[in-house]
Structure 1
Amino acid sequence: MEHARLNLYHQTWLIRSVINMSWLRRLALPVLLAGAALPVLADDTVPQGVTQEPLPNTYIVELEDGETTKAYLEALRAEPGVDEVTERFAYSPSLFNAVSFEVKGSLTSTPDSLRRRMEDLPELRVRHIWPVEAVPAPTYPGEVFSVDSLAPNARRAAAEAFPPHEMIQVDKLHDLGYAGNSTRIGVVDSGVDWRHPALGGCFGPGCLIEYGYDLVGENYNGDPTTLSPDEDPYEQCNGHGTLVSGVIAAQHNQLGFIGAAPGVRLGVYRTFSCAGASSTDVMIAAIIRAAEDGSDIITMSVGHHSGWAGTPLAAAMSRVSKLTGIPCVAAAGNTDGGGYGVFSAAAPSSGEGVLSIGSVQSTRTPTFGPDGVTYVPSDSGGFVSGFSLWGPTHEGHFKPQFCAPGGQILTTAPGGYTVTSGTSFAAPITAASIALLFDVRGKMSPAEVENILAITSKPVPYGGGDGNEPVAHQGAGMIQVLDAAYSTTRISTSGLSFNDTEFLVPEHEFTISNNGDAPVFYELTHLEALSAEAVWPANGYRRSEPEYLPQVSSLKIEPSSITIQPGAKAAVRVSVTPPEGVNAAGLPVYGGFVSIKATTGDEVAALSVPYLGVAAVMREHHVLAIPEQFYFWREDDPIMLALPDNVVFQLPVPVAHPDWARDPVLDADNYIPPGILPAWNFWVRSGSRTVRYEVFSIAPSCRGPKPVVYENVNGDETLGNFAGFPRHFEDMRGKWFTWTGQLADGTYAPPGKYGVRLYALRHFGDYNNPADWSVNEHPQHFGLSYVEV
């Protein structure tokens, strides 16, 4: 118990440290989307406990079709208590009918009243409201070797295949003359050093970096007045986008490597300033602009931890992919050697229809030496990278879709070259592979791309022993782009989800189509993969590094073999038996593959369909921290010691209630000194779609009004939520906040004695069903008094 308490202190201290930083300093912290540090290797990670914070009074509002953002902002500006509304980004009505803006005025002092006002403007239908969140900048602290410092022919083994290309068959398509020449790829990132000789050395029509935009400028710090967009995405102060661009399309250079699709034309969209700042509304604007500028593929290797498909960044990229038919690729995200566990795919990769890409380690590690670059065999080569985040999403969506090389990758850097690791680099090599696929097959829809890459991917073995890596970590496996380009078999699904045991899908059916010109004999067998335990069974807390389990599921596949004539198709039925002998309290996630051997004469093709399930009733999992870790403390206490029962907080008197003011009490042990706020924690153990933090009355003050109470959906009497609640799409981390006595409706709890309850909606829970909520009642009660301070 004490160990768990210390963990909570550690996490909340880190989050507290982040909250107390300036917004700009917070953004200077590294982002999530690249991986593990190695000598001479670039890397970018995010410290454990760091979270993305909302920008003050800044929102994205999505409107129903037919509404206009201009009319919405005009109506909001006319509201009492609103002094100023500054538009940040107005998005395309056909793709994402939304606008981001900052609000100033007295109404912002009651955020929940402001939110209700924004939702209920007369004759305007609002679909969603989200806060705009800060996104920390990607970094790569590894060594960069400048172009000028390298010998004209610095590669020792010029005839040696480039390992990342060799692993996914890109080299074979290069040998056939394919380079992505007909494709435009939009890169949403930090910008690019287009002056780099391996990136063409120019910007504009006829150049490799042919189009793009700088959405932020040099000095953006979150304040909309510091946005200074322009037509040129050039930057050298961060460099992450230069690394990504080189993975896609580096031209021939003295190190002897090229990008996976050197014939494409790139559009780069700069979303980070030299001050290290970006935000979710900037990134959404970049995605939409990349689509409107005619990109055939969009790839994104920046974002934030999520695990949910419903966050604005994930929802926007999903919407763009669905409405435009543009395949959208995003890095699955990284963790610094553990820390996020299952259900943690980053946004926007967590979006429906977005291709989430995990990372596999390169089979050989490039190293710089006096004779240039040499390649050394890697013991971890070919295995899923430890930093690569896990799926599925909390909604149960299949993530990641598949993996590609992202560990120990040689690429361009501002003014030179570097070796880097992360899903940041698995995503762009996948985007480049799709461009090669387009060369062979022509343009394809996002669903067609996902399908052909998934069924031709190669399952990845477990790097720590026998068996295959869990499907929740590798998705369909490592892509094989040559096989995808020339496969004549079509399968009607990219993956099978069997759900949890409460909602277990009893049987899936899919079809196999033979689009070739000869009969094909198909043999279908079960390829097992390891399971993974998502949480600690003893206490329900997430495992930052999931526990690999040897227990595997079993499949019944009918038929087990079939011959399909050219142009014909056949149905296959699959049912699952979840693994036995696992502890359901650990939320074991299982999976495997329907392995399909396709024989045409002497030719044999290996195909597979991944599947996934949870061997537990997700709705029974108590998603909140145990009651002993639910407590409050004084905001000025750096150790965060829990306070005893019946302390009295003397809070600043609300402006609207000067009559509540009382003389401060200075000499009583149970009275907290005047003006010091209570601090409260909450810890969601495995994610929740909705978290409520509600206050209930124990006894009203004899010198104040009686509190107004109502019965909530759980049947409990309550004054309502703390200001700032309910919160939505919460991930699996501890957080804390201070309280002034204000409630979610903008009113204040009157003087009196109170308790609090924390409610979190369980996985797949029904908001209106009390049984679907995890509930913790605070073991200590407290008093509220208001004083002049």
Structure 2
Amino acid sequence: MLLSPVAGLIALASLACAANSTSSSFSTRSSTLTNTYIVSLLAGASKSLQGRSPDSGHQAFHKRATAASIKYSVNYQYDAPDLLYGLSIKLENDADAAAIRNMPEVQGVWPVRSIARPQAAIPDAHGPQAEHIAAIQPTNRLLKRSDPQHLKPDGNVNHNTPHTMTGVDRLHSLGIKGKGVKVAVLDTGVDYRHVALGGCFGPGCKVSFGYDLVGDAYNGTYGSYPMPDSDPLATCVTGFHGTHTFGIIAMEESVESTFSGMIGVAPEATVGMYRVFGCTGGASDDVLVAAMIRAADDGADVISMSIGEVVPYANISWSPFEQVVTGLTTRGVAVIAAAGNDGAYRPFNTETPGLANDALSVASVENVGFQTFEMLDSLGKTIRYGSLYPFAKGTLTAILVGSGTLASEYGCTTADHAAAAAKVTGDLSKYVLIVRRGYCPVTTIQAYAAAAGFDNVITFPDDTDPNVFIQGYISPAPYLVGNGSAIVNFGSTTSHIILDGVTSGKNYTLKFGTPNTHISDQIWGGQMSNFSSIGPTWDWKFKPQMAAPGGNILSTYPLDAGGWAILSGTSMATPYLAGVYALVKSQNSTLGPKEIFNVMQSTSKPMIMPGRGDISTVAHQGAGLVSAYDAVTYTSRVSPGQLALGPIEELVSEQPEITITNRADWPVTYRLTHTIANGMKYYPHGEELPGNEGWLNLLFCRLEASLFAASMSFEQSYITIPAGQSQQVPLAITPPQGLSPEEIPIYSGFVTVSSSLGGEQFSIPYMGVGYNYTAAASFGHNTPGPSTNVNDNYRDIFSAPTVYYSGGEEVQNYRRFTLESNDFVGVVSTFLQPTSWMRYDLVRADIELTPTWYGFDQNVTYTNLTKTASPDHMVGGIPIIGNILYYQMNIPTFQVYYGWSGLLYDENYYQIGLLKGSYRILIRSIFTGVNVNDTVYNDVTNWQTFLGPIVEITRDVPAV
């Protein structure tokens, strides 16, 4: 959301889920760095200032800036004309940014943004939660450069369950492991001292190339300077993220180590790390751009980025990412990026750089298996528990924590754990806390237990909570205690036997002996992760595009934090998919990124919705779970990999089609069918809002199924294609009818193509907007209700815009204002649709305009009005006196209360004075995808408008 320089407004977005709510237009995990900009320059030579000889774009820029007395320092110089030719600069005077934008050498200018460091998700959370680095205490203790010693899981178990989900194990059995493909990971660095990561850096090592662009102390804020070096090693515990993501791609464990047989997706690929985060804080996007360019110049075939910031609109140039990703794709370098972990927050909420047109945005699927061990209770019952490591042999006395009846009393406060500590005497390591999970995330329980001095925790699920995501096994990230010498043992059960025992009134104990390791089925395994961010974008871009295992993934971890961890997030799914890309690329060296993306999407498998048996909306899963084996071995090809149908009015004017290619040496018959998926609404409860707010199931933060779908027909259900030929197949898609635009419904499904070639089955996902978007009302249009006072609780968010005076009462047709003291003009309006621009403009009272909606009685006229002497400015096809405020990139439902005291701005947003006279306030909005210089922007017929009553200003108001 970009604001005009006007203060004094309150913006409210209607959204809530249990205790998690928001009151902003949209949220990002970024901030803009003061006076710092990325400048794109013309790559070709330009005339020097003296007109004698040509200069490079850089030379010309520096000369012109010097001539204009602009003082700045250079952070980065970019010299890749096909990616980004320009520089990142820090100005001494931010006002000089306007002059730079007007230089003939300059193509574009972006404020540098600091993007928050990536976090792992918490699968059991009731709302948007993440593993915070505060839960991982740094330590100076340096372990030996070997696998740290833990009690090992026993038995011959297969920890590589994600590979069985995707067919990666079958490709490995064929010897396909990514050889010859170069993968670059942009992340927090890597602890390559780990045995599974090779123990070294450089050619011939597992971590064979890369660079540290930032150093340990860099945190991405203003005044924090990168200290680059050639080694991407990160030994700080808070740099865990990169070590974990790198291992997902490349790790190889020896049979003697803790997790024998663990192997990455593409262990024979050439993999490198580009460190873009320090030990704390974020990273500025000029650093990320520099890393992307460096990785490409170093020969990467694919770049994995488990990094991002939430951006609601894809077609707005927030940063150079779009330009750089397009250039990388043209160069033959694929960019695979995380969709984000905001699935329990709201839809339309995915992350950039994954939003770039040519990037692949990745969703997360839950791992089907979880490592479990045996314990024996004092009542003679055997209970399985999931944990990163088995507990040490011995008998522990069980203590119930958080024994209250309220969910908030389930061990979710420091007082709960302190009370448990007060009940016992002696060595706390001889006890195990028994904690019900269901209200707060397990990381909270873990941290509070450690703070109270306990080493051992076992949780069990709350059987009154219907959230499927607390019913399975879960293990938080390792938690270092004190100086880092101990790690809290944290286990979880799916059984309530443990509760019966600890509340039996007897001395209840748990005995840990031979672990009897087993990979147990995860109750939510193979389903979409609740945390996985949900699309599409607010300008209807198809994101995310496909999914990979990302929930409860075991991988490498910094040695100083134990060497291994089970983490969750689209951060884990992203490197997994990058590894699959390497496998496919290794067998299809001539295919480019877009072609390989098509192959991977079309062979992916649709996923069911968590807690249900039907297909999850495409807005959550994209094409579904990647099938690496099918992507490599299928003979036929179907394209495109996705169908973004857009709003109904676009579908009417375009005929979607798919292309089937038979690459066999004989004719092949294909069968066409339609597989529907659940619909999705931003507001599934319609105009019950704001009482039942939001798109989320009211029981807990999760996607609400909406049972509507399109219908589809084919000219032929069976087609036979000769050897080596292709055929276009038109699709007749009829969107669902009668859906309410205010609910913003999204329909989706799959075109399924089955071939006679040994069971080939392709699924092409489609997603569309279930109403005529450009004809939908942008503003609330209901009558205010029982009261016209804007301060009254009866006014709902679907009310029409209202002009009011300081007491809150509506101005019906006319009112005089002095704009002094508390005598201001108030305006409240609700925007029900995503829009590129929303404007509050001041116009003459006698303006000749037929608005979409009137805010006054047209039959009431006034004579002897004071005509203003203020000049008009033509903006958006309408003559205005000046702008009161504007928003760019609104998201619904966006409600604005604004008190106007006379400040005005011209078309360049410089403040101007106001002369006394008679005026009206014009509220207007325009649909997505419109830039200020477009002819569409300047055509009055493209705007939805609300013209308010007469406001008579009785005095001149000078510019401040």
SS of 2:714's equivalent in the other structure is strand
Report if aligned partners of 2:339, 2:532 keep a CA contact under 8 Å in 1.
Answer: yes
Structure 2 counterpart of 1:339: 345
Structure 1 counterpart of 2:118: 138
Structure 1 counterpart of 2:301: 296
Deviation of residue 358 (structure 1)?
Answer: 0.8
SS of 2:600's equivalent in the other structure is helix
Structure 1 counterpart of 2:663: 515
SS of 1:333's equivalent in the other structure is coil
The one of 867, 874, 891 equivalent to 1:711 is 874
Deviation of residue 277 (structure 1)?
Answer: 2.8
The one of 322, 342, 358 equivalent to 2:363 is 358
Q: 5 Å matches for 1:278-427? A: 278-310=283-315, 311-335=318-342, 338-342=344-348, 344-366=349-371, 367-368=387-388, 369-370=390-391, 371=515, 374-415=518-559, 416-427=563-574
SS of 1:504's equivalent in the other structure is helix
Report if aligned partners of 2:183, 2:303 keep a CA contact under 8 Å in 1.
Answer: yes
Deviation of residue 249 (structure 1)?
Answer: 0.9
SS of 1:53's equivalent in the other structure is strand
- 1:331-389 Cα deviation digits (max 9, x unpaired): 11121x522313x2210111112111111111123432224975332221111111112
Structure 2 counterpart of 1:543: 695
Deviation of residue 522 (structure 1)?
Answer: 1.2
Change beyond 3 A, Cα 1:258–1:756 = farther
Structure 1 counterpart of 2:37: 59
Report if aligned partners of 2:157, 2:517 keep a CA contact under 8 Å in 1.
Answer: no
Code of the residue aligned with 2:217 in structure 1: it is N
Q: 5 Å matches for 1:469-548? A: 469-505=616-652, 506-535=654-683, 537-538=686-687, 543=695, 547-548=704-705
Q: What is the TM-score with the length of structure 1 in the denominator? A: 0.79
SS of 1:173's equivalent in the other structure is helix
Deviation of residue 728 (structure 1)?
Answer: 5.8
Distance 2:666 2:63 in 1: 65
The one of 613, 618, 636 equivalent to 2:768 is 613
Structure 2 counterpart of 1:749: 912
Q: 5 Å matches for 1:117-266? A: 117-121=99-103, 123-124=104-105, 126-140=106-120, 141=131, 151=149, 154-160=152-158, 162-220=160-218, 221-223=220-222, 226-235=225-234, 236=236, 237-252=238-253, 253-256=257-260, 257-266=262-271
Code of the residue aligned with 1:169 in structure 2: it is G
Change beyond 3 A, Cα 1:5–1:224 = closer
SS of 1:309's equivalent in the other structure is coil
Deviation of residue 4 (structure 1)?
Answer: 7.3
Structure 2 counterpart of 1:768: 938
Structure 2 counterpart of 1:74: 62
Code of the residue aligned with 1:617 in structure 2: it is N
Distance 2:278 2:827 in 1: 34
The one of 85, 103, 106 equivalent to 1:97 is 85
Report if aligned partners of 2:13, 2:893 keep a CA contact under 8 Å in 1.
Answer: no
Change beyond 3 A, Cα 1:413–1:775 = farther
SS of 1:548's equivalent in the other structure is coil
Report if aligned partners of 1:410, 1:418 keep a CA contact under 8 Å in 2.
Answer: yes
Deviation of residue 144 (structure 1)?
Answer: 7.8
Distance 1:363 1:12 in 2: 31
Q: 5 Å matches for 1:551-590? A: 551-590=708-747
SS of 1:510's equivalent in the other structure is strand
Report if aligned partners of 1:542, 1:685 keep a CA contact under 8 Å in 2.
Answer: no
Distance 2:828 2:309 in 1: 22
Change beyond 3 A, Cα 1:186–1:418 = same
- 1:250-280 Cα deviation digits (max 9, x unpaired): 1214213121111122221111223413112
SS of 2:242's equivalent in the other structure is helix
Structure 2 counterpart of 1:661: none
- Structure 2 spans left out of the alignment, 5+ residues: 1-9, 46-55, 121-130, 138-142, 372-386, 392-514, 697-701, 792-801, 808-817, 847-867, 931-935
Distance 2:116 2:280 in 1: 10
SS of 1:312's equivalent in the other structure is coil
Report if aligned partners of 1:291, 1:320 keep a CA contact under 8 Å in 2.
Answer: no
Report if aligned partners of 1:365, 1:376 keep a CA contact under 8 Å in 2.
Answer: yes
Distance 1:306 1:270 in 2: 23
Distance 1:274 1:736 in 2: 41
The reply on whether 1:645 has 2:805 as its aligned counterpart is yes
Distance 1:679 1:385 in 2: 44
Q: What is the TM-score with the length of structure 2 in the denominator? A: 0.66
Report if aligned partners of 2:366, 2:551 keep a CA contact under 8 Å in 1.
Answer: yes
Distance 2:250 2:594 in 1: 24
Structure 1 counterpart of 2:494: none
Deviation of residue 621 (structure 1)?
Answer: 3.9
SS of 1:281's equivalent in the other structure is helix
Distance 1:430 1:404 in 2: 6
Distance 1:760 1:117 in 2: 29
Change beyond 3 A, Cα 1:671–1:619 = closer
Deviation of residue 207 (structure 1)?
Answer: 1.1
SS of 2:351's equivalent in the other structure is coil
Moved more, 285-294 or 434-443: 434-443
Deviation of residue 284 (structure 1)?
Answer: 1.4
Deviation of residue 87 (structure 1)?
Answer: 4.1
- 1:168-189 Cα deviation digits (max 9, x unpaired): 0011111112221212111111
Identity percentage of aligned residues: 28
Change beyond 3 A, Cα 1:739–1:314 = farther
Report if aligned partners of 2:882, 2:904 keep a CA contact under 8 Å in 1.
Answer: no
SS of 2:632's equivalent in the other structure is helix
Deviation of residue 223 (structure 1)?
Answer: 3.4
- 1:32-62 Cα deviation digits (max 9, x unpaired): xxxxxxxxxxxxxxxx845522212222232
Deviation of residue 115 (structure 1)?
Answer: 4.9
Change beyond 3 A, Cα 1:607–1:161 = farther
Code of the residue aligned with 1:645 in structure 2: it is Y
Pick the structure with greater CA Rg: 2
Report if aligned partners of 1:697, 1:752 keep a CA contact under 8 Å in 2.
Answer: no
Change beyond 3 A, Cα 1:680–1:198 = farther
Deviation of residue 202 (structure 1)?
Answer: 1.2
Change beyond 3 A, Cα 1:94–1:149 = closer
Report if aligned partners of 1:95, 1:323 keep a CA contact under 8 Å in 2.
Answer: no
Change beyond 3 A, Cα 1:266–1:760 = farther
- 1:519-558 Cα deviation digits (max 9, x unpaired): 3221111111111113464379973665421122111112
Report if aligned partners of 2:15, 2:22 keep a CA contact under 8 Å in 1.
Answer: no
Moved more, 775-784 or 548-557: 775-784
SS of 2:705's equivalent in the other structure is strand
Distance 2:806 2:900 in 1: 17
Distance 1:408 1:313 in 2: 33
- Structure 1 spans left out of the alignment, 5+ residues: 17-47, 633-641, 648-664, 673-677, 700-704
Deviation of residue 325 (structure 1)?
Answer: 1.1
Code of the residue aligned with 1:303 in structure 2: it is G
**What root-mean-square deviation, in Å, do the aligned CA atoms of Structure 1 and Structure 2 show?**
4.1
Code of the residue aligned with 2:663 in structure 1: it is N
Distance 1:215 1:684 in 2: 43
Deviation of residue 761 (structure 1)?
Answer: 2.6
Code of the residue aligned with 1:352 in structure 2: it is N
Distance 2:830 2:29 in 1: 13
